Amino acid sequence: MNQSTSLYPALAVDAAGQHLVSHAGTVLLLRAAETAGLAAALSSSLMPWRKPNAVHDPGKIIVDLAVSIAAGGDCLADLDQLRSQTAVMGQVASDPTVSRLITALAANADRALAAIGSATAQTRARVWSLAGEDAPDHQVTAEIPLVIDLDATLITAHSEKLDAAPNFKKGFGFHPLMGFVDHGPAGTGEPVAVLLRPGNAGSNTAADHISVVKQALAQLPDTVTSVGRYRVGRKVLIRADGGGGTHQFLDYLTLRHLSYSIGFGLTDKLAAAVDLVPESVWIAAIDDDTGRVRDGAWVTELTDLVDLSSWPAGIRLIIRAERPHPGAQLTFTDRDGMRLTQRSSPTAAARSKRLELRHRRRARCEDRIRALKDTGLRNLPLHRFDQNRIWAAIAALASTLITWTQTLALTSHDARRWEPKKLRHRLLRPPNPTAPGRDRPPDTDVLLVGLSRLDRLRAPT
């Protein structure tokens, strides 16, 4: 171990050595964090919360917690899994020190979250710059925009936590609304906004959708939002389900000059308009950019058949009819045994089947939510609401750190698309190859190549 001015020890990585440590793969996350400057950015932004003569830096504590969560932890005490690995993690704060920091941050949660968000945005700009062609904002245009997916999920609370409430599915807990940057089919995605809400929060609350979009836009590098602080431009696309189909939200997106693809509530009048569409006007839906036809699905446009005068100018209504999956229940708005789904978009030039395909890819957001829940958000471990807001931000940071690691270090391997559980078992927590009867872990070379790539990207200290 060499001397280093970093918050973490400088390690020599050798897969053939005999002096091995558990969780050795977490050094990949640490190298990615150092390459991106995450620890330094958090250390600077959280300086107001560092007490005089304190031993532990608040920024390092937050990064340690993020690494712990990324490695599978789901509460503050799980930091203990890294505390014994001083050769990798350096000095790790004790549980009381960590608890005191979370309490101090929660005492002024809005300011603390703004500080964490500022450091994350600064780091994201560097990561995307280093990623080059693999960055989600590479050569974005109005035709190929950067996609931000919005969606909500339910988190069950198993005890009486502050602001937990019954939800519409007869459960009890929280109903956060989140935003994710989509990296496309070749990658995963990274959370850019998490708005923690009580379980009884509405699914179509426009103010919450607007708040999440504002948070998400603040996380984007200036290369994407260079049009101005208020007018972002069409090269950012906001996708959401029917919960975002409100007048206030679409008016806001239009005012910000954002592209959007939003689910639309299918009313009796809209469903009746489907009956006026001649069969010859329906066109086959497609499954990919090559134009391969999707079996049992058709697309048409209702823009000229319904009154849209109260909605933003230029809005288009695209509808898809598809044979339901076996066992699926039809609703009163479906027609002739076909499930109808509808979305709105202001894109003028694109064909309706292309717009429908673009919106259907929003289903990847469900994968992002599952990954985020598997990275600390399945259960909120703290009692007070503001404490859980801080925890949610750290969990999002852990998920983001995994994505950044994949973007910078694993671009040439299928590991670029691995979800957290698989990444942990294959790379972050490999079995000890020196144990009797065990061969060298099969993904050791992937780990070494990733570390080598990060070493090439790292700026001199």
What is the b/e burial string over 25-54, where b = at least 16 CB atoms within 10 angstroms of the residue's CB? bbbbbbbbbbbbbbbbbbbebbeebbeeee
Distance (Å) of CA 210 to CA 171, 198, 202, 397 = 26, 17, 14, 21
CB 172, CB 165: distance < 8 Å: yes
Per DSSP, 36 falls in state H
- Helix H or strand E encompassing 368: helix 364-372
Give residue 3's pLDDT band: very low, low, confident or very high (50, 70, 90): very low
Please give the pLDDT value at position 349: 65
pLDDT average, residue stretch 65-85: 90
Give residue 461's pLDDT band: very low, low, confident or very high (50, 70, 90): very low
User: Can you tell me which residue has the tokens 């259907």?
Assistant: 360
Please give the pLDDT value at position 388: 97
What are the structure tokens assigned to 29, written together?
């996350």
Please give the pLDDT value at position 267: 75
User: Any residues with CB less than 8 A from the CB of 214 and at least 6 apart, and which?
Assistant: none
Checking if the pLDDT of 174 tops 60, the result is: yes
Per DSSP, 388 falls in state H
Checking if the pLDDT of 19 tops 60, the result is: no
116 three-class SS: helix
Please give the pLDDT value at position 1: 41
pLDDT digits (tens, 9 = 90+) for 118-129: 999 999 999 999
- Pairing assessment for the beta strands 236-240 and 146-152 based on DSSP bridges: parallel
Higher pLDDT, 327 or 179: 179
Average pLDDT, the chain: 86
The torsion of the CA quartet 361, 364, 369, 370, rounded to 10 degrees, works out to 150
What is d(CA 248, CA 244) in angstroms, rounded to the nearest whole number? 9
Distance (Å) of CA 105 to CA 78, 349, 389, 391 = 19, 48, 10, 10
Checking if the pLDDT of 228 tops 70, the result is: no
Please give the pLDDT value at position 350: 73
Distance (Å) of CA 443 to CA 14, 423, 425, 433 = 14, 10, 10, 12
What is d(CA 46, CA 323) in angstroms, rounded to the nearest whole number? 53
Checking if the pLDDT of 52 tops 60, the result is: yes
